[in-house]
Amino acid sequence: MESYILDWLNLLLRWAHVITAIAWIGSSFYFVFLDSSLTPPEDEDLKKQGVSGELWALHGGGFYHPVKFAVRPPQLPKHLHWFYWESYSTWLTGFALFTVSYLWSASTYLIDKSKMDWAPWLAITVAILFLMVFWLLYDLICRRYGQRKNGESIVGALVLVLVCVASWLACHWFAGRAAFLLVGAMLATSMSANVAHWIIPGQRKMVAAIKAGEPVDPIHGILGKQRSVHNTYFTLPVLFAMLSGHYSFTYTHPQNWLVLIAMMFAGAAIRQFFVMRHGYKLGRNGNPLPYAGVGVAVIVALMVWLAPEPVKTTPSAAAEAVNTSVGGAIGYATLQPILAQRCYLCHGEQVQMKNVRLDSAASVKLHAQNIYQQVVVSKIMPMTNTTGISEAERMVIKQWFETGAKID
């Protein structure tokens, strides 16, 4: 029953997380596009009101005319929309999903004993510290160097080093899939913290100054814009980290930390292409294509590097079972001892992870496709190979499935 309830929580939280993330990322992308596409106002009245840029757009059969005030509007409108619940809801649902999917079963999903054989409570503590410490160090870098001459270049270089170190540590301390997700959660936490601790507080101070009839300090807008720009470059790396769990060839590689860093770098480069593209059309930026080229080149290089070599099998006890069976077919009698030794621990009478039980011929037949996919194709199972399944045993399961998945 616990596994069933966790599956429902996982589904509902994942659904809510994706919905809120779409809302947050969508609004973030839109405002980056808007800032890059604004042109000086032509109407004299708009200029007198303090408008610094405008945009005409057509969408859904209607014309839109958003304008941007350099520091403050002549007066505050009655209804002012704040963009922060998209961010907060995304983080809250994401952390809840991380708790249900990884922290709740830390010994299974978070810990890889071949890397770090630590107690579940310690692994959970370190994982949470990853989120907190990265934000504190990133925030310190921004505070110290963000307002200096060429400060953004210094911040960018130091944050890159920080991300690389964090990625290396995560991939050497935690199970591969959990490490990738943890690095994504680490960046996403900093994104949401930027909203909560810099962007929104600065905007509140601006609004308070306008209401009090006092001059608005432009530094609040400058600092908020700085963190907002950082967020947009974090976005594609975060999305890759979140999606990577479905593609085991990335996080199971011996140098998975390099794979993670390279893909995040490619995502940031491609995001730079889109950011520059909006201004390039107005003659403001240089050609953005080299950034897209770099991002694509990194991805292609990874595809070549990660390409699997042809599988070469050598005779073994399990392989001999394949070769000596009638017509090359594998029956349940040959398969069952492997399942008992490698799978019953999590999918047997006592425990049925994901509501999957494999200690009977009927249930094995029911889950045949999933067994083949998880054990042979993606090699995700057994999780972190806790039970030590061999390649020869995987070949037996492969032969069993491809010759009809017989159970008699």
Asked if 165 and 275 sit in the same domain, the reply is yes
135: in domain? yes
* Same domain (yes/no): 279, 377: no
- If you average pLDDT over residues 189-217, what whole number do you get? 92
Domain assignment present for 32: no
Q: Are residues 387 and 242 in the same domain?
A: no
337 & 230 share domain:
no
Q: How confident is the model at residue 98 (pLDDT cuts 50, 70, 90)?
A: very high
Kindly state the average pLDDT of the residues 335-354.
81
The number of domains in the chain is: 2
Give the pLDDT confidence of 249-262 residue by residue, as tens digits.
Answer: 888 888 999 999 99
Last-in-domain residue among 306, 331, 358: 306
**Beta strand pairing status for 62-64 and 67-69?**
unpaired
Residue 196 lies in a domain: yes
Per the DSSP assignment, residues forming a β-bridge with 123 are none
Structural domain harbouring 183: 103-306
Burial class (CB in 10 A: 0-12, 13-18, 19+), 28: buried
Handedness of CA 247, 379, 308, 322 (dihedral sign): negative
Tell me the pLDDT band of 363, cut-offs 50, 70 and 90. Answer: confident
What sign results for the dihedral spanned by CA atoms 388, 391, 393, 395?
A: positive
Same domain membership, residue 272 and residue 149 = yes
Same domain, 144 and 256: yes
Mean pLDDT of 287-295: 92
Per-residue pLDDT of 79-96, as tens digits, reads 888 889 999 999 999 999
Between these two residues, 223 and 2, which has the higher pLDDT value?
223
With pLDDT > 90 as the criterion, what percentage of the chain qualifies? 43
| Residue 396 and residue 332 share a domain | yes
pLDDT bracket for residue 78 (50, 70, 90): confident
Domain boundary among 253, 278, 306: 306
pLDDT per position as a tens digit, 230-250: 999 999 999 999 998 888 788
182 in any annotated domain: yes
Judgement on whether residues 199 and 331 belong to the same structural domain of the protein: no
Mean pLDDT (the chain, rounded): 86
Whether residue 141 lies inside any domain: the answer is: yes
pLDDT band at 387 (very low <50, low <70, confident <90, very high): confident
**Residues 140, 116 within the same domain:** yes
Cα–Cα–Cα angle for 334, 337, 338, rounded to 5 degrees: 90
- Given 261, 284, 306, which residue is the final one in a domain? 306
Highest mean pLDDT among 62-76, 271-285, 322-336: 62-76
Task: State whether 176 and 264 are in the same domain.
Answer: yes
Q: Residues 100-110: pLDDT tens digits? A: 888 888 887 88
Q: Mean of the pLDDT values across residues 303-307?
A: 89
Segment 132-148 mean pLDDT: 93
Is residue 125 assigned to a domain?
yes
pLDDT at 344: 84
Q: Note whether 279 and 326 are same-domain residues.
A: no
Q: Is 282 left (phi over 0), alpha (psi -120 to 50) or beta?
A: alpha
Q: How far is 194 from 198, CA to CA, in rounded Å?
A: 5
Question: 256 in the Ramachandran plot: left (φ > 0), alpha (ψ -120 to 50) or beta?
Answer: alpha
| One domain for residues 284 and 374 | no
